[in-house]
């Protein structure tokens, strides 16, 4: 694909089914309006049809009620340049009813087990800000940190609330007041009997950190049953509360696991033999259906609480799934094929009732997709998974390093790899130690003094081995990566200064010392990985920072950073740019306004296109 093709493919998500029909969310970019368009598509009577009204509004988060009679979804309609109306709608047959509406944000919602109520989580301005017309110009008086969070912006002046809506008469009441309780965020919700469980974050007593809690609501009583954890989802299985996450947040990096959670706060990890990170769970008929990462794949398993059965083991990525009474439907993609919806049968993917979803068939007709070269490489100290795209032995080669580091490359359609390959570059990528998908020990093998040592050995060794495997003769090599991948890029070109002739350092962690005081996760993340508090071992923080070795860099370097990146603030990139210009190293900095750390994944479509073009032009200039 080419940068212009960003608008041609669809990302499919939020699949739901009522056993007869299947509904999913489609997200597509629009260059003209410089925005994303969310639509709902329904498969019914052997064909796929788009919901009416998609031109005027965005539709998202479809869910069927537990009895499968009502389809719910969020409808977002622009009222003015600054105001968007968010509505929760019900569709029963041809009848559509708006049951809840707000000028703030509907963050999520949850059907009660008997379908008589629906719980809605909103994000609203703090009561002291609601009366202010020009909120963006109001001075910020801060007493706590963090006060901002990447992609969410300023957070201290926003609160989450929970509303309970009566399905029969659409009357709503606020049952959790975030202003009163001081909830900066509310995450997942689960209902058991007469009690509602939810995760919520609020400032600790010193105002130096957000504490995440699991709270039980029975009647008007709120009881905190667990603190200091990190939870992505709560759910009920066999009438017991369970959660996906960590019992203690400072156990990170480790596998995100499934825990049974008692009202006493005691937690028990399930499926310990799996030793893989869990990304989602859905329950039906006394079984958990479990989505998990494994060596560059994302697969589906079926568990009874004690043992887990693999439902598929192919080279692909399942991003979402739905369990109905007669089938398992999945959204899946592969290295060379974008998202489509399939039926999972006999441990294989099949077209939905022999009719493909065709969400991306037109995209693949107009663009070329490159297959991968895959190899598990023994680096002498580890065995790591590596991928490549070969376009020609005489073509230049790019080494791409993923972020995280607790993330993974793999058998998934990645627009970055496809775009750079189409531009004429061989691509090499790998999952060094520190990546996810290979278990607890692998994840932690970059902590403390191992940071920048084990991972660098794996990345450099894998790159050399893949060059041999792909029989590439051209010695013009480029290197690039974002976030942790940006750290590794700067680290490698400062420790192996003659190895690469071109580099792109993107949204990078470059100086641990300043990150502590400027990043939204600066108090927690450095300590989790370096295993030392900043004030107690400042020399370690400097030793593990690429900026310390920046004087060694001679490779022409493009620095890409977003103005509103709160994860790796733009001062990180500015420090490197200043060093390179001061020493006369060929370099440039590209700053994207109104973008966050997520520019390459969810930034404005035009900016994503411009970013691709800048990267390709930079590597072309120095490698061809």
Per-residue pLDDT reduced to its tens digit, 129-139: 888 888 889 99
pLDDT for 354: 58
Q: Which two tokens stand for residue 350?
A: 């099949």
Residue 353 has pLDDT above 60, yes or no: no
Neighbours of 25 (CB within 10 A): 24
- Give the sign of the dihedral formed by CA 41, CA 44, CA 49, CA 55: negative
pLDDT digits (tens, 9 = 90+) for 246-262: 999 999 999 999 999 99
Report the distance separating Cα 70 and Cα 92, nearest Å: 5
| Separation in Å, CA 296 to CA 144, 255, 407, 411 | 39, 15, 9, 6
Q: What percent of the chain has pLDDT over 70?
A: 99
| DSSP per residue, 523-568 | TTHHHHHH-S-GGG-HHHHHHT-GGGGGGG--S-EEEEEETT-SSS
Residue 358 has pLDDT above 90, yes or no: no
pLDDT for 355: 62
Tell me: cis bond preceding 425? Omega within 30 of 0 counts: no
Task: Specify which residues 292 forms β-bridges with.
Answer: 278, 299
Nearest to 484 by CA among 433, 540, 543, 555: 433
Q: Could you say which architecture CATH assigns to the domain 366-622?
A: 3-Layer(aba) Sandwich (3.40)
Residue 45 has pLDDT above 80, yes or no: no
User: Using an 8 Å Cβ cutoff, are 407 and 488 in contact?
Assistant: no
Q: Which run of H or E residues covers position 97? A: strand 95-102
pLDDT digits (tens, 9 = 90+) for 600-619: 999 999 999 999 999 999 99
pLDDT for 357: 79
Give the model's confidence band at 89: pLDDT under 50 very low, under 70 low, under 90 confident, else very high: very high
Three-state SS at 218: strand
Give the model's confidence band at 352: pLDDT under 50 very low, under 70 low, under 90 confident, else very high: low
pLDDT for 53: 67
What's the longest Cα–Cα distance across the chain? 71
pLDDT for 136: 84
Q: What is the pTM of this model?
A: 0.95
Tabulate helix, strand, coil % of the chain (nearest 5).
20, 40, 40
pLDDT for 130: 84
Residue 218 has pLDDT above 90, yes or no: yes
Tell me: cis bond preceding 353? Omega within 30 of 0 counts: no
Residue 562 has pLDDT above 80, yes or no: yes
The domain segmentation of the chain, as residue ranges, is 107-234, 366-622
User: Using an 8 Å Cβ cutoff, are 382 and 411 in contact?
Assistant: no
Three-state SS at 575: helix
| DSSP per residue, 235-248 | EEETTEEEEEEESS
Torsion of CA 201, 204, 208, 211, to 10 degrees: -30
Q: Which run of H or E residues covers position 492? A: helix 484-495
Mean pLDDT across the chain, nearest whole number?
95
| DSSP per residue, 344-407 | EETTEEEEGGG----TTHHHHHHS-----EEEEEE-SS-EEEEEEE-S-TTS-EEEEE-SSSS-
pLDDT digits (tens, 9 = 90+) for 306-347: 999 999 999 999 999 999 988 899 999 999 999 999 999 999
Pairing mode, strands 84-92 and 71-78: antiparallel
Q: DSSP character for 51?
A: P
pLDDT for 326: 85
């Amino acid at each position: 694909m080419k940068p212009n093709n960003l608008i041609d493919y669809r990302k499919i998500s939020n699949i739901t089914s009522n056993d007869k029909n299947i509904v999913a969310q489609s997200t597509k970019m629009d260059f003209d309006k410089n925005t994303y368009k969310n639509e709902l598509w329904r498969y019914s009577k052997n064909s796929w049809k788009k919901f009416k009204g998609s031109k005027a509004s965005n539709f998202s988060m479809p869910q069927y009620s537990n009895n499968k009679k009502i389809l719910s979804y969020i409808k977002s309609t622009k009222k003015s340049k600054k105001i968007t109306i968010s509505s929760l709608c019900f569709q029963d047959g041809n009848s559509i009813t708006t049951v809840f509406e707000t000028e703030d944000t509907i963050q999520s919602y949850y059907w009660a087990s008997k379908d008589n109520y629906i719980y809605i989580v909103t994000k609203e301005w703090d009561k002291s800000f609601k009366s202010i017309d020009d909120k963006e110009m109001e001075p910020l008086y801060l007493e706590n940190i963090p006060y901002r969070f990447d992609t969410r912006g300023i957070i201290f002046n926003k609160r989450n609330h929970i509303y309970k809506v009566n399905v029969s008469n659409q009357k709503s009441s606020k049952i959790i007041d975030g202003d009163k309780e001081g909830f900066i965020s509310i995450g997942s919700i689960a209902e058991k009997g007469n009690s509602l469980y939810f995760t919520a974050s609020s400032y600790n007593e010193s105002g130096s950190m957000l504490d995440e809690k699991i709270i039980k609501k029975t009647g008007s009583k709120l009881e905190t049953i667990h603190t200091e954890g990190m939870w992505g989802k709560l759910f009920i299985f066999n009438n017991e509360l369970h959660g996906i996450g960590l019992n203690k947040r400072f156990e990170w990096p480790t596998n995100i696991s499934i825990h049974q959670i008692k009202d006493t706060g005691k937690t028990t990890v399930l499926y310990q033999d799996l030793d893989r990170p869990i990304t989602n769970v859905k329950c039906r008929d006394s079984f958990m259906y479990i989505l998990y990462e494994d060596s560059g794949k994302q697969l589906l398993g079926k568990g009874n609480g004690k043992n887990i059965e693999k439902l598929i083991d192919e080279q692909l990525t399942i991003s979402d799934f739905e369990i109905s009474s007669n089938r398992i439907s999945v959204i899946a993609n592969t290295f060379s094929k974008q998202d489509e919806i399939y039926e999972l049968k006999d441990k294989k993917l099949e077209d939905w009732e022999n009719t493909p979803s065709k969400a991306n068939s037109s995209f693949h007709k107009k663009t070329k997709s490159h297959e991968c070269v895959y190899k598990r490489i023994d680096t002498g100290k580890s065995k790591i998974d590596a991928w490549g795209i070969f376009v020609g032995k005489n073509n230049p080669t790019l080494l791409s390093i993923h972020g995280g580091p607790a993330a993974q490359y793999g058998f998934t359609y990645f627009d970055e790899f496809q775009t750079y390959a189409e531009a004429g570059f061989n691509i090499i990528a790998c999952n060094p130690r520190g990546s996810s998908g290979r278990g607890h020990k692998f994840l932690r093998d970059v902590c403390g003094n191992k940071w920048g040592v084990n991972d660098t050995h794996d990345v450099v060794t894998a790159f050399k081995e893949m060059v041999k495997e792909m029989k590439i003769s051209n010695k013009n090599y480029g290197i690039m990566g974002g976030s942790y991948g940006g750290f590794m890029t700067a680290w490698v070109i400062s420790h192996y200064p003659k190895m690469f002739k071109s580099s792109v350092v993107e949204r990078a962690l470059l100086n641990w010392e300043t990150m502590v005081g400027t990043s939204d996760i600066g108090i927690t993340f450095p300590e989790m990985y370096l295993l030392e508090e900043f004030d107690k071992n400042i020399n370690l923080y400097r030793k593990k920072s690429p900026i310390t070795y920046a004087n060694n860099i001679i490779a022409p370097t493009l620095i890409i950073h977003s103005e509103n990146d709160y994860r790796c603030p733009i001062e990180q990139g500015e420090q490197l740019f200043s060093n390179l210009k001061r020493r006369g190293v060929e370099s440039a900095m590209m700053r994207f306004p109104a973008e966050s750390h997520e520019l390459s994944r969810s930034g404005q479509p035009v900016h994503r296109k411009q970013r691709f073009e800048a990267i390709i032009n930079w590597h072309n200039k120095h490698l061809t």
